[in-house]
Structure 1
Amino acid sequence: MADLFNDDPPQPSADESSADAPLADRLRPAVLAEIIGQEHLTGPEGAIGRMVTAGRLSSTILWGPPGTGKTSIARLLADAVGMRYQAVSAVFSGVADLKKAFAAAETAKKAGQRTLLFVDEIHRFNRAQQDGFLPFVERGVVTLVGATTENPSFELNAALLSRAQVLILHRLDAEALGKLLDRAEELEGPLPLTPQAKDALIASADGDGRFLLNQAETLYNAKIESPLDPAALGQFLQRRVAVYDKDREGHYNLISALHKAVRGSDPQASLYYMARMLVAGEEPLFLARRLVRMAVEDIGMADPAALTQCMAAKDAYQFLGSPEGELALVQACIYLATAPKSNAVYKAQKAAFRSARETGSLMPPMNIVNAPTKLMKDVGYGKGYTYDHDADEGFSGDNYWPEGMPRQEFYQPVQRGFERKVQERLDYWAKLRDERS
């Protein structure tokens, strides 16, 4: 019955698909489990996986970069829950096309068939056109699945957003893109590339699986006899290909250079190495993680706000995506490079961990251990504890170290940035401690 109301042409099976079809079409996944790089959504615990398990879909906006599988997910969602699939594109469709789609969905509903209406580039519809979806979504005539590369917060009506959940698709990382090329090579044979050139081709795709497969198809069609190296690949494709292997030496060389430039307080060099990595296709969240590490390892208490800046940059990137969110990472990078430097926290962690391993299970002094029961209080747990807030100047000067273990000095601030103030406090407390001991 569903075929009576489906305006889309029937899709050929894998056996029937033409060998002349584009490589990206021939490699389209047949089930949701074959979608690459979006397991956070399609896996059993993901939003899409849960909807499929329940057999009920809610209206959804798929937001993500080009070539990440939005169209395939929508088509396979309909198959997975037995819904009729109908697709329109905001680029090519107008009001008449929408009316036709809604009329077909109404007819299908009367016949007991639910419709998943996929709207590609939904942000290209104007506000009035977007409002036109609302009554059909509210009445259950269609379950709307819209796809957009733009931030839905800015491009879609609030009324439409309130009736749909927004799912964020990840930019395909090197591992996911590598799997796509593996599938292509299973179908067409080995690519005429050296291993380094293959890595460079993946990096040049900038997370776009469709672009990567189109480039691979160009290479297959050229009937190249000898494998191309990165330089020859860039010349052949007439596209600059960054020589960058994201899991080998080039990757570690550049992240090391970025870290050391930040540590060396050179914001210009820091920006250069960050740009090198982003332009070559590095995963921005990898850089966000490294910036957080720099904030606590090389700046620490000299400027505690450095960590806050990095976490805010990570949140901003996850909210905006690429390329807008990369500006937040650049801001964090500049902040770190221009901040006062201290590795005192890093050294303190190392020293404290070493001491903890060496001293084993020494008990804290009895006056500061917990005493939740009467018996424990009777045998002396918590006895003699001084509540510091009640002491003069809010400082008791008590000994908090295990019996028999001398006081240690793990954290030693430097005389830079905020740590100058911290050192003043430590010196003041040490003076009071000496007086009261």
Structure 2
Amino acid sequence: MADLFDTAPDEAARPAGPRPLADRLRPRRLSDVVGQEHLLGPDGPLGVMLTSGALGSLILWGPPGVGKTTIARLLADETRLAFVQISAIFTGVADLKKVFEAAKLRHANGQGTLLFVDEIHRFNKAQQDGFLPHMEDGTILLVGATTENPSFELNAALLSRAQVMVLERLDLAHLELLAQRAERELGRALPLTGPAREALLEMADGDGRALLNLIEQVAAWKPHGPISPDELSTRLMKRAAQYDKSGDGHYNLISALHKSVRGSDPDAALYWFTRMLEGGEDPRYLARRLTRMAVEDIALADPQAQGICLEAWQIYERLGSPEGELALAQAVIYLALAPKSNAGYAAYKNARAAARRTGSEPPPKHILNAPTALMKEQGYGEGYEYDHDTEAGFSGQNYFPEDMKRGVYYTPVERGFERELKRRLDYFTKLRARRQSG
């Protein structure tokens, strides 16, 4: 794939006056787009659609600055459709009606319309339904752009009529290509050392538009020599990481943290923990989730884990940020290195399933109290053995409902403290079997 932005734009089509670097370097052909080869390549879904002449409505889902608007515009050029762009943030019902009426007139005159809707997830479900009849009769070919998961933000009827295309953030190699194109457009190299150049690419965080905006700032400087990484970070405000505390970013990162802890990788766990903090996540939420991890994935393999999480939580509440976050970070490390077991979690789920199946079965009479004469006559408490009075401190009696087969829900693992619990469980199982056989 060639670069994302064109190196020789059509000068005649440019408006007078200075234009941002990102706008000056927009591509004129889909073959100029960088970073989305999995979609635009000859074997990619968009490449196949264009080759076959069967382009349909699309939802372009991906992070900012990866080419969603550019691709939509170039698709219109490739298919000779009129390109109309609206934003769900600024477009109301009356505006949509005008867009559809204009598209109908074009359609009647033999001209199709590619309607690009930026931030399409901002439209409510009823507004999304308004696109359906115009998509079905061919009045518009809809291309929606969203940074949010379409499965949650778009209704099923719209999704059934449009194919979702997932765009990926640009990697460092893609960003370097953009930097080279920018230097050619500017006519000079950026005044950066090698490490500073790498730092600049990382600051863009996979966003091509953000990189070109940063480059524009750097190009305006007149340093005496190449700029170092420290000087770069001093002159440039680091771009905030893409993180939506109520959207996919939130759930994806907490999932990554949880699985890193479960996988006993303290370095990865700390990375995702700090990624969430840097994104503005509430440390109290992280404290709660860490405690959940201790209960679900460590449990009785290390009974101290839950207490350490609660203590870290309490320390954070007393110290606040940023000092209290260190206690949470230490809890992350402890959880990642603790022995793991989900036996307690599995036992709880198994017992709940059994309780739902047999929820009306009464306890066996011999373990029921008999505070009245009538209850004694009914056999309540009859035959009960007081465990402390037995030789081993274990009577081995049945405590399940009389008509229910004995269940086995807790199966401890051979790790951490559960190794000792398994030894105890095996001991009582043998005593119970001996009593039943005797």
With normalisation by structure 2, the TM-score equals 0.55
Match of 2:160 in 1: 162
Superposition pairs for residues 182-261 of structure 1, below 5 Å?
182-188=180-186, 189-239=188-238
Q: For 2:333 and 2:119, how far apart are their aligned partners in 1?
A: 33
Q: For 1:234 and 1:107, how far apart are their aligned partners in 2?
A: 53
Over residues 267-324 of structure 1, what are the superposed CA-to-partner deviations in whole Å (9 max), with x where a residue is unaligned?
3x4423556799999xxxxxxxxxxxxxxxxxxxxxxxxxxxxxxxxxxxxxxxxxxx
State the AA in 2 paired with 1:38.
Q
Superposition pairs for residues 267-306 of structure 1, below 5 Å?
267=266, 269-273=267-271
**C-alpha contact 1:116 1:143 (8 A) present in aligned 2:** yes
Match of 2:139 in 1: 141
Aligned residue-pair number: 271
Match of 1:302 in 2: none
Structure 1 residues 279, 230: CA separation in 2 closer, same or farther (over 3 Å shift)? farther
Q: For 1:224 and 1:23, how far apart are their aligned partners in 2?
A: 21
Q: For 1:337 and 1:19, how far apart are their aligned partners in 2?
A: 60
State the AA in 2 paired with 1:195.
G
Instruction: List gaps (5 residues or longer) in structure 2.
Output: 1-8, 242-259, 280-331, 341-413, 420-438
Q: For 1:173 and 1:149, how far apart are their aligned partners in 2?
A: 18
**C-alpha contact 2:204 2:239 (8 A) present in aligned 1:** no
Matched residue SS, 1:88: strand
Match of residue 130, structure 1, among 128, 131, 145: 128
Give the Å deviation of 1:132. 0.8
Give the Å deviation of 1:262. 8.7
**C-alpha contact 1:118 1:146 (8 A) present in aligned 2:** yes
State the AA in 1 paired with 2:64.
P
Match of 1:119 in 2: 117
Over residues 336-369 of structure 1, what are the superposed CA-to-partner deviations in whole Å (9 max), with x where a residue is unaligned?
75457xxxxxxxxxxxxxxxxxxxxxxxxxxxxx
Matched residue SS, 2:164: strand
Q: For 2:262 and 2:155, how far apart are their aligned partners in 1?
A: 45
Matched residue SS, 1:228: coil
State the AA in 2 paired with 1:57.
L
Q: For 1:105 and 1:264, how far apart are their aligned partners in 2?
A: 54
Q: For 1:108 and 1:273, how far apart are their aligned partners in 2?
A: 53
**C-alpha contact 1:206 1:280 (8 A) present in aligned 2:** no
Match of 1:61 in 2: 59
Structure 1 residues 99, 206: CA separation in 2 closer, same or farther (over 3 Å shift)? same
Q: For 1:131 and 1:210, how far apart are their aligned partners in 2?
A: 32
Give the Å deviation of 1:28. 0.7
Matched residue SS, 1:144: strand
Q: Is the counterpart of residue 101 in structure 1 residue 89 in structure 2?
A: no
Give the Å deviation of 1:200. 0.6
- Structure having the higher Rg: 2
Q: For 1:241 and 1:195, how far apart are their aligned partners in 2?
A: 23
State the AA in 1 paired with 2:81.
M
Structure 1 residues 166, 192: CA separation in 2 closer, same or farther (over 3 Å shift)? same
**C-alpha contact 2:107 2:139 (8 A) present in aligned 1:** yes
Q: For 1:125 and 1:217, how far apart are their aligned partners in 2?
A: 34
Give the Å deviation of 1:137. 0.5
Q: For 1:126 and 1:91, how far apart are their aligned partners in 2?
A: 11
Q: For 2:239 and 2:107, how far apart are their aligned partners in 1?
A: 51
Give the Å deviation of 1:56. 2.5
Q: For 2:35 and 2:274, how far apart are their aligned partners in 1?
A: 24
Q: For 2:178 and 2:168, how far apart are their aligned partners in 1?
A: 15
Match of residue 10, structure 2, among 9, 13, 25: 13
> Which is worse superposed, 185-194 or 67-76?
185-194
Match of 2:24 in 1: 26
Q: For 2:57 and 2:27, how far apart are their aligned partners in 1?
A: 22
**C-alpha contact 2:62 2:167 (8 A) present in aligned 1:** yes
Match of 1:46 in 2: 44
State the AA in 1 paired with 2:117.
V
State the AA in 2 paired with 1:168.
V
Matched residue SS, 2:83: strand
Q: For 1:279 and 1:45, how far apart are their aligned partners in 2?
A: 40
Over residues 16-70 of structure 1, what are the superposed CA-to-partner deviations in whole Å (9 max), with x where a residue is unaligned?
4256110000111111111110010011111110111112311100000000100
Instruction: Give RMSD over aligned pairs.
Output: 3.6
State the AA in 2 paired with 1:209.
G
Match of residue 78, structure 1, among 73, 76, 79: 76
Give the Å deviation of 1:15. 4.9
Structure 1 residues 236, 45: CA separation in 2 closer, same or farther (over 3 Å shift)? same
**C-alpha contact 2:119 2:145 (8 A) present in aligned 1:** yes
Match of 2:316 in 1: none
Over residues 141-187 of structure 1, what are the superposed CA-to-partner deviations in whole Å (9 max), with x where a residue is unaligned?
00100000011111111111111111100011111111111110111
Q: For 1:262 and 1:130, how far apart are their aligned partners in 2?
A: 40
Q: For 1:80 and 1:121, how far apart are their aligned partners in 2?
A: 23
State the AA in 2 paired with 1:233.
L
**C-alpha contact 1:58 1:165 (8 A) present in aligned 2:** yes
Q: For 2:189 and 2:227, how far apart are their aligned partners in 1?
A: 12
Structure 1 residues 151, 25: CA separation in 2 closer, same or farther (over 3 Å shift)? same
